[in-house]
Amino acid sequence: MSVGLIALLDDIAALAKVAAASLDDIAGQAAKAGAKAAGVVIDDAAVTPRYVTGFSASRELPIIGKIALGSVKNKLLILLPAALILSLVAPQAITPLLMIGGLFLCYEGVEKVYGLVLPHAAHAHESALETTSLDAQSLEDQKVAGAIKTDFILSAEIMAITLGALPSGNIFTQAFILAVVGLGITVMVYGGVGLIVKADDLGLMMARAQTAPPMGPFLRALGRGLVTGMPYFLKVLGVVGTAAMIWVGGGIIVHGLEAYGAGGLAHLIHDAGEVVAHAIPVLASVLRWSVEAAGAGIVGIVVGLITIPVVGYVISPLWRYLKSRLPGRRRKEALADGKK
């Protein structure tokens, strides 16, 4: 009896080790897959604060909460099942979809830079739309809806990158990892956004603190630093987000081409990284990564510059035409004409 019990306990311990190893493997895969989506995550965090600009401080966190809830629904209820179905039915479509997402990231990143250097009509049109008079609730609903639509695109790219980084295997394991990455990124992004948009309020409170020395002057100085520094921090975050989008998008394009047998560009970037790394062995890893990231970034810039005219002169007019032919849109235009 005691021998059987010991054997049973030994089997349970072995199973526990296997389970722990599996969980550790899942955690490692989730971390690696999440890291692949870093560029999209940074850009998401950089973009989201603008959706609460112009609202009272009491509405900032509720608005972020609504956007975060919409993001969770996007990832878990729509994109996760779609990703799993895709991996089962048409796994060969994952790489092309990733490359399309890479094109989108390159376009978005380079278009932002282009818009800063040469402001164009699209930006003026967007500004005109934003100044349309709406009541506070309608404006909030509009902003939240717009943020959730933007999040859907970014979340789709995050889930596609995550799925592409996972090894083929158990569908339940893939589902769990996708859910972990999706929820983890949502918490990280919108938790971080919540801290960012409330940092100036916290800084103002600290600047007015009447705490006795030595902590009082320190807290007040820190508070003033937060209030003064947050606008600059948001600008830096925006720059980092844009750069990350271009770098990640370019990297996806390079690896996608390699998957289809056109690996010359990937080998060229890799060889350049190796040359620089061997030249300065002390900083080999950092320099190798820097050169490869710069190479992917250059590819992203070139691809982005190519896609800007394609989107501006082909895709956007076609999309506007198709939208104008939708029955719902035509009814709205007819009603608007009737009111006039």
Residues 6 or more apart in contact with residue 220 via CB below 8 angstroms: 206, 207, 208, 209
- Please report which confidence band the pLDDT of residue 270 belongs to, taking 50, 70 and 90 as the band edges: very high
Cα 109 from Cα 105, distance rounded (Å):
6
Higher per-residue pLDDT: 292 or 43:
292
Over the stretch 37-53, which tens digit does the pLDDT of each residue have?
A: 555 666 566 666 666 66
Q: What angle do CA 152, 154, 155 make, to 5 degrees?
A: 60
pLDDT at 258 over 80: yes
DSSP code per residue over 8-64? HHHHHHHHHHHHHHHHHHHHHHHHHHHHHTHHHHHHHHHHGGGGGTTS-HHHHHHHH
pTM of this prediction exceeds 0.85: no
| Residue-level pLDDT at 328 | 58
Q: What angle do CA 225, 228, 234 make, to 5 degrees?
A: 110
Least confident of 143-147, 168-172, 305-309: 168-172
Residues 6 or more apart in contact with residue 250 via CB below 8 angstroms: 102, 106, 295, 296, 297, 298, 299, 300, 301, 303
Domain ranges of the chain: 1-338
Over the stretch 45-81, which tens digit does the pLDDT of each residue have?
A: 666 666 666 677 778 888 888 989 998 999 899 989 9
DSSP code per residue over 186-213? HHHHHHHHHHHHHHHHHHHHHHT--PPT
pLDDT at 166 over 60: yes
Over the stretch 319-334, which tens digit does the pLDDT of each residue have?
A: 888 877 776 555 555 5
pLDDT at 23 over 50: no
| Tokens encoding 13 | 């311990």
| Residue-level pLDDT at 276 | 93
Return the percentage of the chain with pLDDT > 90, whole number.
12
| Residue-level pLDDT at 62 | 87
Cβ(184)–Cβ(44) under 8 Å? Answer: no
Higher per-residue pLDDT: 244 or 318:
318
Over the stretch 131-146, which tens digit does the pLDDT of each residue have?
A: 444 567 787 888 888 7
